[in-house]
């Protein structure tokens, strides 16, 4: 299979999947090694940028996804007329930031850092698929541990949690 055909197959797979596809799965399906796949996908990413196309390929947690450019949102919104999408409240944003930086974390730890109950914020973030239960802590009551999702990374344009901005000095002492 030549490079043009591999690019065509990758594009078709990402389009049909509609969601992120792991590098491992793409390599297995196309039967190529990871280094070659990454080189080809990077060429595809560069091509989308150079040609100013309406689509882009993004990388999230060692997966690739075909999606629209954020700057076309207003036009896409007119076409698809989304159901009343509400943004996140300040309290939910605080809770999300705490989970992002401190994960895995329990509800009581979030409550302690915020200084108020966070139950409704946690439920909102779970409903919006920005955080998820990632396990249970060992110990009395075995409280639920929360962490962020790939949707969180996509929403904030991050490839991985390593790309989160560093906390400012003093923020950690404040508990955030």
The model's pLDDT over 76-111, given as tens digits with 9 standing for 90+, comes to 888 887 555 678 899 999 999 999 999 999 999 999
Three-state SS at 78: helix
β partners of residue 136: 144
The model's pLDDT over 144-167, given as tens digits with 9 standing for 90+, comes to 999 999 999 988 989 999 999 988
Phi–psi pair at 57, nearest 5 degrees? -110, 130
The predicted pLDDT at position 86 comes to: 72
Question: What is the rounded average pLDDT for all residues in the chain?
Answer: 91
Select from 13, 44, 75 the last residue of a domain: 75
59 and 95 share a domain?
A: no
The predicted pLDDT at position 71 comes to: 93
70 and 94 share a domain?
A: no
* Domain assignment of residue 80, yes or no: no
For the entire predicted model, the pTM comes to 0.63
- Say how many C-beta atoms besides its own lie within 10 A of residue 25's C-beta: 14
Domain that holds residue 18: 3-75
Q: Would the pLDDT of 39 be above 80?
A: yes
């Amino acid at each position: 299979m030549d490079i043009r055909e591999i690019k065509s197959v990758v594009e078709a797979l990402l389009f049909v999947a509609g969601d992120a596809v792991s590098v491992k799965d793409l390599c297995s399906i196309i039967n190529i090694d990871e280094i070659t796949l990454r080189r080809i996908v990077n060429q595809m990413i560069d091509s989308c940028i150079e040609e100013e196309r309406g689509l882009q390929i993004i990388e999230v947690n060692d997966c690739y996804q075909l999606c629209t450019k954020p700057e076309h949102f207003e036009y896409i919104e007119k076409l698809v007329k989304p159901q009343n999408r509400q943004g996140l409240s300040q309290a939910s944003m605080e809770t999300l930031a705490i989970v992002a930086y401190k994960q895995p974390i329990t509800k009581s730890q979030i409550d302690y850092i915020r200084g108020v109950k966070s139950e409704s914020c946690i439920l909102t973030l779970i409903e919006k698929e920005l955080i998820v239960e990632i396990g249970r802590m060992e110990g009395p009551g075995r409280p639920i541990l929360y962490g962020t999702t790939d949707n969180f990374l996509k929403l904030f344009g991050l490839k991985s949690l390593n790309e989160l901005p560093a906390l400012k000095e003093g923020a950690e002492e404040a508990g955030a």
